[in-house]
Structure 1
Amino acid sequence: MQTLSVRLFHRNSLPTQTRYFCSSIISSFAAMNHQKHLAGPWYSVPELRLRDHHFTVPLDYSQSGSQSHNISVFAREAVAVGKENQDMPYLLYLQGGPGFESPRPTEGSGWLSKACEEHSVILMDQRGTGLSTPLTTSSMLQMKSAQELVDYLKYFRADNIVNDAEFVRKLLVPNAGPWKVLGQSFGGFCGVTYLSFAPEGLKEVYLTGGIPPIGDGCTAEAVYKACIGPIITQNEKYYKRYPQDIKIIRDVVSHLEQSEGGGVPLPSGGILTPRGLQLLGLTGLGSSTGFERLHYLFERVWDPVIVPGAKKQISYYFLNAFEKWLSFDTNPLYALMHESIYCQGAASQWAAHRIRTELEHKFDAVKAAKEGRPVFLTGEMVFPWMFDEIHALRPFKEAANLLAEKKDWPPLYNKTTLNKNTVPVAAAVYYEDMFVNINLAMETAAEIAGIRLWVTNEYMHSGLRDGSGHVLDHLMGLLNGKKPLF
């Protein structure tokens, strides 16, 4: 980046006309820079030095100049202590989601510590999350209609996340050179979009649990069909580890079904129903410590009966924990946009709901409880009834239905470009990944020329976070010669 040197004078020592001219130049310069990029000072957390960057980017990159509506994109730069003045290669981290902000470092640990040893790591909040013009349950209420909200949300997919990344790269990397990208889960989907449409901006790409299906139309239905088997397997493994929870969860389902209105009120104003309870499988079944967290949550599901004859009821502790577990109130973009990440020129039409309906004999919680069978929890799926039962999502029900019927989604991948790829790519494929099916991932990997794969059952979907830097180190080794080519 070029540095502007300005000699400062005390303004009162200059003639009035000169003072006005200089003030105008300085104000114009500040405004010009503020339009694009504002960098803050370095600050510290243990083992890391951090710096905040704010960028002003177009909402719609097809428009320019005065026609464009602008939004902000926030990125936090992280380096190891003592390296803030060194020239190191840049590594962009793309978070999973959609609709979740980048990690907030509290110390140098795990994969981030590993990455910061050799890179200046850019933790970018994807548009609509964190400090990047966040789309919250309150900010989205500013829209005058559901259609207006949909017309806004259509710019918040992987294609425009990549556009933002390119905007940031050209302002941040010296001489606008290429950088490395690490994509976790949905961030990996964005990485493949990046390879498809802007490979010139990439030096290397690392994908962790993030190889997307790239077929035409809407692949959501294929994803849910492929993931149903692993979801059932994870349920069976959970109950094998904690067989005592079979009866506990059955009793909870029966209690909810027999309650007035078919459920019990949640602290936020929503309602917990049997099918809503099954949503706990989203993170409870698919991450490395999910089984334990789920078990300990159900340990405190019932209030103690401290007065003889008192009515049995679900504890406030459990109801409150249930809502915090799902994060739909803080990150509503996930529920609204989840199925759209699979769409190219076709509508999702609530794919997960349709697939679940076909398998209702396995996922009918009330029937399972009555028949004495284990109640199966669901996985990474968003259903239309959530916009009735979850209080934070209720205002967006109409918009969610419009998004589910939207057909004119632009392409997210280019197979021709991927087939001719020359960017070094390494990917961790988790054999028992409940979120990104291994078979679909391998189909896509076959379309990306030169990709190096590490298929492992040592980790689950959260392997990057859980592996204390080992996953990233392994992938880097695949590309830097530390791991054998064959």
Structure 2
Amino acid sequence: MALFRNRKSRSIKASIEPSVSVEDGNEGHKPRSIKQLRLTRDKTTKSLGDERHSKGFAVLYIQRQRSLYPHSIPSSRKGTPVNKAPPSHNMQPPRAGTPANMAPPSGIYMAPPSGTYMAPLPQTGTPTNMAPSYAPPPAPNQAWTGIQPAVLHKMPVPNNDTDGDTDKFSVMTLKFEVPLNHQAPAKGETLVLHAELVYGSKGSERGAAPVVKHEWKRILGAKPFLLFLCGGPGDGNSHRRIPLLNHFALRRGYQVLYVDYRGTGRSYPISPSYIAVNNPNKAAADAEAQRKANYLALFRQDNIVRDLEAIRLCLTNIIAQSSVAAPPPSTSASGSKTAALAAKSSKTKHASKTAKPSKPVTQPAPAPAAPVAPPQPVKWTLVGQSFGGWIALTYLSFLPESLAGVYLSAGLAPVGAGAPDFVYAALAQRIAQRNEAYYARYPDDVWHVKQIVAHLDAASSSSSTTSNGGYAVKLPGDARLRLTAQAFMTLGRAFGAASAVIAPGPPTSKTTPDAYDALHQLVERASFDIANYNVLSDGALVLAAALFAGGFRLHERPLYGVLHEAIYCDGPGYSSSWSAQRILLTHFPAGQFVWTDPSFSATKPSPAITAAVMNDGTAKLYFSGEMVLPAMVPAPLRSTANALARKADWPALYDSSALAANRCGVTVRAVAYADDMYVDLELARRAAAGIRGAQVLEAWNGWKHGAIKEADKTVAVLEALFDGKPLPV
């Protein structure tokens, strides 16, 4: 640990600073030091898109961009890293007092409460919550063997973090170094992952305890880990996301670990400038796009699971290393510090006196030391929300021995679907249902929406309205979004926060508008401006900006745009091929989604269906939901996105036979929401039916996809997951 004690040494500091590859537009990868990055990272970069693609949903990146793409971060540390432990410390019997994060004991099976759904269990004669003891171990999956422990990148940093005025937590920041490709690790190709550990709260006995020297090791080994997996893909995972989850977990004896997935948050996020391809030479541009696509393919949930497993192994080794430290000095009569000090004092006091010879005193033999059990390997208790559930079920498929429990909120991935077409075919029906509910409340918007689409399409085709050939709305971070007809029609993503079926008429709440009402306010204002002034007012653009700010945010999380369909490609032979666009066009022959066609033009409706829809006063244009369409991806990013859409050699994401066996008896409980627009309830039921012992609680009447993140619903969802309590109606 001398490396960390002598922080003032310039030579040591230089030796621990990694090099980072930075991708700037057309330039190649250039290794730069952290010091150089600090000098250059604040330079403003612009990605103005391609104005020639007038129908594109291009984001004009005029905000300050950090191109911190880590192509190679070689580890320069020497010697044995802190996460190396003696190989003998691998197993330990469960500790007394461990909270209920372990698999249920043999022979005990709790019937689900009323209103729940339990996956069928095989009739084997063995306890229903355990795998048969005589079952042979499965053959190792070569794609999931040989994962090496992550390396603790630097000394953990403590801080007392305050969320608002009420929530205060003791948080430890950790950095872990992992290979870019776990299956074929290469020297110098590593990633550094950012993690935050919530280990105490205001008023707890260790809430204000400073983390000094080796204190952080004791904290890591003091409590079992609850690992929260956030939604995405592409989102960061801050510990501030759900404060009530932290309080809930701490009260139950856990510490909560948040990890920014690779390429997101503070784990060196991938910037749009890296994904962009601007080479005018088509052959060179195609080669660059393919190279970047192959690189980004390493950022799906399968490699996220490998990262988390490497972190688990690292923590296991650190805890094992700290637990074998020398015991404190003995307090027995023959060797205590008190006895030694007393003897020294007596010798000094009577040094001038002639001591008489004394009879030898026979000391009792010390009692043999009790055997110390080696530390128990870390096991995760996973809480996954939305895409976090996709990660959790991949983990359960291939590395179940690393898990103590799996709890999912709107996170039952479509296991067994194979290709994204099956997923989007189900979700498209839910989108249609929401659109019908919207138009039932606001029937006049049937015509107003088409009026706005025609106006935006004409404005994007000329420069008469604004100086840049269309409208633009300002997004957080000084980014700007081109408000095209296609962009406007993607605002249906917000329908996921509204009820599926509603009565006609205005919303009952007068304080906060729901998702339908918020969109209607924009439609009403925009249609008024067009009818009276033939131009959108600043007020309409402000309303649009508010809706887009909570939308896809591809300027902040470009991985969401380029990998969104890839997370549904389960195994070789499946390519996404822009699945959502194909499904919306083929499953709705009446033309409700005709605007998703790349050749769509309201001013020159060449397909007969387009003219029929736009001229028929009763025909409806449907808004899309949580689908990523080619027109939504900014023009500079489309070459890479197209290469990923063509990719058909994806690795498998799930193992259906392993989930059906659940050989480690991992507790699996999930909450599925009947009104979920993003995760189809029927597909969620099928997924749960394929997991042995999985219990599903279905929530109806107003419970939505993000309920676990809503302050008035968080505790109820967590109690349903951990205790099996039915959600209130």
Normalised to the residue count of structure 2, the TM-score between the two structures is 0.57
The answer as to 2:598 corresponding to 1:375 is no
Is 1:109–1:468's contact at 8 Å kept on the other side of the alignment? Answer: no
Is 2:495–2:516's contact at 8 Å kept on the other side of the alignment? Answer: yes
The answer as to 2:705 corresponding to 1:461 is yes
Pairs aligned (count): 459
- Which structure has the bigger radius of gyration? 2
1:304 deviates by: 6.4
1:157 to 283, 286, 300: 300
Is 1:298–1:318's contact at 8 Å kept on the other side of the alignment? Answer: no
1:474 deviates by: 1.0
Whole-Å separation in 2 of the counterparts to 1:265 and 1:200: 54
Report the residue type matching 1:414 in the other structure.
Answer: D
Residue 301 to residue 331, structure 1, CA distance change in 2 (3 Å): farther
2:449 to 244, 249, 255: 249
Aligned equivalent of 2:388: 187
The answer as to 2:192 corresponding to 1:72 is yes
Residue 369 to residue 309, structure 1, CA distance change in 2 (3 Å): closer
Q: In terms of mean alpha carbon deviation, does 455-464 or 111-120 score higher?
A: 111-120
Whole-Å separation in 2 of the counterparts to 1:126 and 1:7: 26
Aligned equivalent of 1:426: 669
1:51 deviates by: 2.0
Aligned equivalent of 2:434: 234
Report the residue type matching 1:352 in the other structure.
Answer: A
Residue 407 to residue 9, structure 1, CA distance change in 2 (3 Å): closer
1:234 deviates by: 1.3
In the TM superposition, 1:190-269 aligns within 5 A as 190-215=391-416, 217-218=418-419, 220-243=420-443, 245-261=445-461, 264-267=470-473
1:103 deviates by: 3.8
SS in 2 for 1:214: coil
Report the residue type matching 1:238 in the other structure.
Answer: Y
Residue 7 to residue 197, structure 1, CA distance change in 2 (3 Å): closer
1:457 deviates by: 1.3
In the TM superposition, 1:56-135 aligns within 5 A as 56-64=177-185, 67=187, 69-78=189-198, 79-81=200-202, 82=204, 83-84=206-207, 87-103=222-238, 105=240, 109-118=243-252, 119-135=254-270
Residue segments in structure 1 that go unaligned for 5+ positions in a row: 13-19, 388-392
Report the residue type matching 1:69 in the other structure.
Answer: E
Whole-Å separation in 1 of the counterparts to 2:7 and 2:386: 54
1:454 deviates by: 0.3
Whole-Å separation in 1 of the counterparts to 2:174 and 2:5: 25
SS in 1 for 2:262: coil
Normalised to the residue count of structure 1, the TM-score between the two structures is 0.84
Whole-Å separation in 2 of the counterparts to 1:332 and 1:8: 39
Residue 7 to residue 130, structure 1, CA distance change in 2 (3 Å): closer
Aligned equivalent of 1:355: 583
SS in 1 for 2:194: strand
1:310 deviates by: 5.0
Residue 43 to residue 96, structure 1, CA distance change in 2 (3 Å): same
2:484 to 253, 260, 273: 273
1:43 to 155, 160, 175: 160
Residue 8 to residue 317, structure 1, CA distance change in 2 (3 Å): closer
1:63 deviates by: 2.4
1:52 deviates by: 1.4
SS in 2 for 1:283: helix
1:122 deviates by: 1.1
Which structure: greater helix fraction?
1
Whole-Å separation in 1 of the counterparts to 2:564 and 2:689: 25
Aligned equivalent of 1:15: none
Residue by residue over 1:177-225, the C-alpha shift from the partner in whole angstroms, topping out at 9 and shown as x without a partner, is 202001111110110000001111100110111111122642x100111
Residue by residue over 1:301-357, the C-alpha shift from the partner in whole angstroms, topping out at 9 and shown as x without a partner, is 47969xx98543253324534543330111110010011101121211111111111
Is 1:301–1:317's contact at 8 Å kept on the other side of the alignment? Answer: no
Whole-Å separation in 2 of the counterparts to 1:6 and 1:236: 64
Whole-Å separation in 1 of the counterparts to 2:630 and 2:77: 49
Whole-Å separation in 1 of the counterparts to 2:421 and 2:7: 67
1:447 deviates by: 0.9
SS in 2 for 1:385: helix
Is 1:238–1:285's contact at 8 Å kept on the other side of the alignment? Answer: no
Whole-Å separation in 2 of the counterparts to 1:201 and 1:295: 48
Aligned equivalent of 1:474: 720
1:55 deviates by: 0.9
Is 1:356–1:363's contact at 8 Å kept on the other side of the alignment? Answer: yes
Residue by residue over 1:446-479, the C-alpha shift from the partner in whole angstroms, topping out at 9 and shown as x without a partner, is 110011110111411111112132111111002x
Whole-Å separation in 1 of the counterparts to 2:654 and 2:305: 12
Report the residue type matching 2:564 in the other structure.
Answer: H
SS in 2 for 1:42: strand
Aligned equivalent of 1:312: 535
Is 1:284–1:294's contact at 8 Å kept on the other side of the alignment? Answer: no
1:293 deviates by: 4.0
Whole-Å separation in 2 of the counterparts to 1:277 and 1:154: 30
Is 1:91–1:122's contact at 8 Å kept on the other side of the alignment? Answer: yes
Is 1:300–1:317's contact at 8 Å kept on the other side of the alignment? Answer: no
Residue 10 to residue 247, structure 1, CA distance change in 2 (3 Å): closer
Report the residue type matching 2:689 in the other structure.
Answer: A
Whole-Å separation in 1 of the counterparts to 2:2 and 2:616: 77
Residue 310 to residue 385, structure 1, CA distance change in 2 (3 Å): closer
Report the residue type matching 1:447 in the other structure.
Answer: G
Residue by residue over 1:29-74, the C-alpha shift from the partner in whole angstroms, topping out at 9 and shown as x without a partner, is 699459534311132213322221111111100123x535101111
Is 1:93–1:123's contact at 8 Å kept on the other side of the alignment? Answer: yes
Is 1:266–1:320's contact at 8 Å kept on the other side of the alignment? Answer: no
1:296 deviates by: 4.7
